[in-house]
């Protein structure tokens, strides 16, 4: 079993692509990482013996996570298992032309770190625009390489 679970929410496929790119980079660094769409996740995924979670979502409407990730949040919100001792990393895709640029990451951090007690181990990455742009590919690679040194 992988040590880290990356849960992503993606409506257009951009965040999904980033999720699998992060997995590729972390695997290059010898890390075991499983990737799942938030639509396929539930409370049980948070209580499995993972040592950490990478939580990824695009931002929609007034700063909300992608609908699949938001549905996941709704499914776990009443239980809120303790994530004490679990390492947390957060990434968001968005467009800085909007007022709530990557606002989903704030919602995710409030729930998984502040309310559920996960330990945020790296600064949240905010990807502006298309992830396949050269500068964003470099940003993703740099972030994932740093993250590799911080997770099991």
CA dist., res. 73 & res. 144, Å (int): 24
Three-state secondary structure call for residue 89: strand
Please list, residue by residue across 126-148, b when 16 or more beta carbons sit within 10 angstroms of its beta carbon and e when fewer do.
Answer: bbbeebeeeebeebbeebbeebb
Average pLDDT of the residues in 97-122: 96
What pLDDT does residue 1 have? 67
When the pLDDT of each residue in the chain is averaged and rounded to a whole number, the result is 96
Sole residue written with tokens 């980033």: 18
Average pLDDT of the residues in 24-44: 97
Evaluate if residue 142 carries a pLDDT over 70.
Answer: yes
What pLDDT does residue 61 have? 85
Evaluate if residue 124 carries a pLDDT over 80.
Answer: yes
Tell me the torsion sign for CA atoms 125, 131, 134, 138: positive
Average pLDDT of the residues in 124-128: 97
CA dist., res. 73 & res. 57, Å (int): 12
Structural domain count of the chain: 1
Residues facing residue 92 across a β-bridge: 57, 126
Evaluate if residue 62 carries a pLDDT over 90.
Answer: no
CA dist., res. 143 & res. 56, Å (int): 13
Other C-beta atoms lying within 10 Å of the C-beta of residue 8 = 29
The confidence band for 69, taking pLDDT boundaries of 50, 70 and 90, is very high
Evaluate if residue 28 carries a pLDDT over 70.
Answer: yes
Full residue range of the structural domain in which residue 40 is found:
4-148
Average pLDDT of the residues in 77-104: 95
Three-state secondary structure call for residue 106: helix
Look up the CATH number of the domain holding residue 62. 3.40.50.360
Average pLDDT of the residues in 64-93: 95
The confidence band for 102, taking pLDDT boundaries of 50, 70 and 90, is very high
End-to-end alpha carbon distance in the chain:
12
């Amino acid at each position: 079993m992988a040590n880290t679970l990356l849960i992503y929410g993606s409506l257009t496929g951009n965040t999904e692509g980033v999720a699998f790119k992060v997995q590729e980079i972390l695997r290059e660094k010898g890390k075991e990482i499983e990737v799942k769409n938030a639509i396929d996740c539930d409370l049980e995924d948070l209580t499995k013996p993972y040592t950490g979670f990478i939580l990824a979502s695009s931002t929609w409407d007034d700063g909300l996570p992608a609908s699949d990730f938001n549905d996941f949040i709704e499914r776990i919100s009443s239980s809120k298992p303790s994530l004490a001792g679990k390492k947390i990393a957060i990434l968001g895709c968005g467009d800085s032309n909007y007022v709530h640029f990557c606002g989903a990451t704030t919602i995710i951090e409030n729930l998984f770190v502040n309310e559920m007690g996960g330990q945020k181990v790296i600064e949240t990455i905010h990807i502006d625009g298309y992830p396949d742009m050269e500068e964003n590919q470099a940003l993703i690679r740099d972030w994932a390489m740093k993250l590799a040194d911080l997770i099991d």
